[in-house]
Amino acid sequence: MPPLLLLSSGSYTDRPERPVVAIGNFDGVHLGHQSMLKEALRQARELDQPSVVYTFDPPPAVVLRPDTHYPRILPLEDRVRLLGDFGVDQVCIEPFSFAFAQHSATWFAHEILERRFHPSAIVVGYDFRFGRNRQGDFGLLQKQLPDVPITQVGAFEVDGHVVSSSRIRRLVSEGDVSGARQILSRCHTVRGTVVEGDKRGRSLGFPTANLATPAELLPAPGVYVVKGNVDRRHEYGGVANLGVRPTFSGRELMIEIHLFDLSPTDEDLYGRELEVSFLQKLRDEKRFPNAEQLRQQIASDAQSARALLDPEE
């Protein structure tokens, strides 16, 4: 069920409930975020109050460090959808600006959390900071709101490494989508619209869907095993190439997806929404001497992808 969406903390002021508030960016809704959400949902059930995720858009780092490349793992719409899928009752999105960032930690604790949310409990992460120059932390929040139970959830580790959004960005950008999958608890996905290309794939016997996407975080150039979901209704296995197509002296980065065994209703994909989930990288992109050798490699890639997608065949 989709969560109730509130577009600022100001819209919460007159609500009658006393929610359990989980605070954070939640970009990726990865295993670390999920450990926070489980704790917030547990407390909400015990207190018979709604659970609220309080988050920000754009993310604070984008506003405060604009020169730093900070691609979002998920667009806001998908982040909200995943939070709802996890069981969160409400998502409150605070518009973040440089002016908002100038408020003190004390102001944030009393004006935002105490007065607007009137929470029955608060849940934060291990690296929680708030207020101007990140001056506030878990200890300060406890001092400012002594009557509110505040839980700090520890870092979540996989294979001895802390799960974090920055780690996921690094793994995906390096092409290690299977590593990212382990700590996201699902595949990294990219969603967009199928647009018309030059039909080179069709001429090679492997028609491809060319994806135009606003996604900020793309895997490194290469060939990947994927699943493609058409219009959020039909899912197919496939193989995708991210790159400039060096065999044809291309220069523009393109995402081309060859989906297996399309149903007749999905053979014409132009203009339709396609969500691509990246399961595993097969190889780097490379230049081939001619189109025939490229065709043979694509056939081999497709065979490898099918074997990985359905190992029993």
Instruction: Give the pLDDT of residue 248.
Output: 47
- Is the same domain home to 157 and 195? no
- Is the same domain home to 220 and 149? no
User: Is residue 173 included in any domain, yes or no?
Assistant: no
- Which residue in 257, 295, 262 sits closest to 279, CA to CA? 257
User: Is residue 177 included in any domain, yes or no?
Assistant: no
User: Is residue 179 included in any domain, yes or no?
Assistant: no
User: Is residue 130 included in any domain, yes or no?
Assistant: yes
- Is the same domain home to 25 and 158? yes
- Is the same domain home to 150 and 258? no
- Is the same domain home to 50 and 147? yes
- Which residue in 168, 177, 217 sits closest to 33, CA to CA? 168
| CA distances (Å), origin 69, targets 98, 186, 247 | 18, 24, 30
Q: Return the number of other C-beta atoms located less than 10 Å from residue 24's C-beta.
A: 20
3 state SS of 106:
helix
* 5-38 confidence digits (pLDDT tens): 999 999 888 888 999 999 999 999 999 999 999 9
Q: How many domains does the chain have?
A: 2
pTM of the predicted model, to two decimals?
A: 0.89
- Is the same domain home to 10 and 119? yes
- Is the same domain home to 147 and 9? yes
Tell me the CATH number at 245.
2.40.30.30
User: Is residue 172 included in any domain, yes or no?
Assistant: no
The pLDDT of residue 218 is above 80:
yes
Instruction: Give the pLDDT of residue 201.
Output: 55
Q: How many CA atoms lie within 13 A of 255 on its CB side?
A: 26
- Is the same domain home to 193 and 59? no
User: Is residue 180 included in any domain, yes or no?
Assistant: no
3 state SS of 239:
strand
Q: Under a CB-based contact definition with an 8 Å cutoff, are residues 118 and 50 in contact?
A: no
* Higher-confidence position of 207 and 72: 72
Q: Return the number of other C-beta atoms located less than 10 Å from residue 197's C-beta.
A: 16
Tell me the CATH number at 57.
3.40.50.620
- Mean pLDDT computed over every residue of the chain: 91
- Is the same domain home to 103 and 202? no
Q: Which residues contact 165 (CB under 8 A, 6 or more apart)?
A: 25, 27, 28, 30, 73
- Is the same domain home to 131 and 13? yes
Full domain range(s) for residue 240: 187-309
| CA distances (Å), origin 146, targets 121, 129, 192, 219, 277 | 11, 18, 47, 45, 45
User: Is residue 174 included in any domain, yes or no?
Assistant: no
User: Is residue 178 included in any domain, yes or no?
Assistant: no
* 242-287 confidence digits (pLDDT tens): 986 654 445 568 899 999 998 888 888 999 999 999 999 999 988 8
Question: How far is the C-alpha of 228 from the C-alpha of 213, rounded, in Å?
Answer: 14
Q: Under a CB-based contact definition with an 8 Å cutoff, are residues 169 and 30 in contact?
A: no
pLDDT-based confidence at 204, cuts 50/70/90? low
Cis preceding linkage at 58, omega within 30: yes
- Is the same domain home to 150 and 196? no
Domain boundary residue among 129, 145, 162?
162
Side by side, the strands of the sheet bearing 90-95 are: 4-6, 90-95, 51-57, 20-23, 121-124, 150-152
- Is the same domain home to 154 and 9? yes
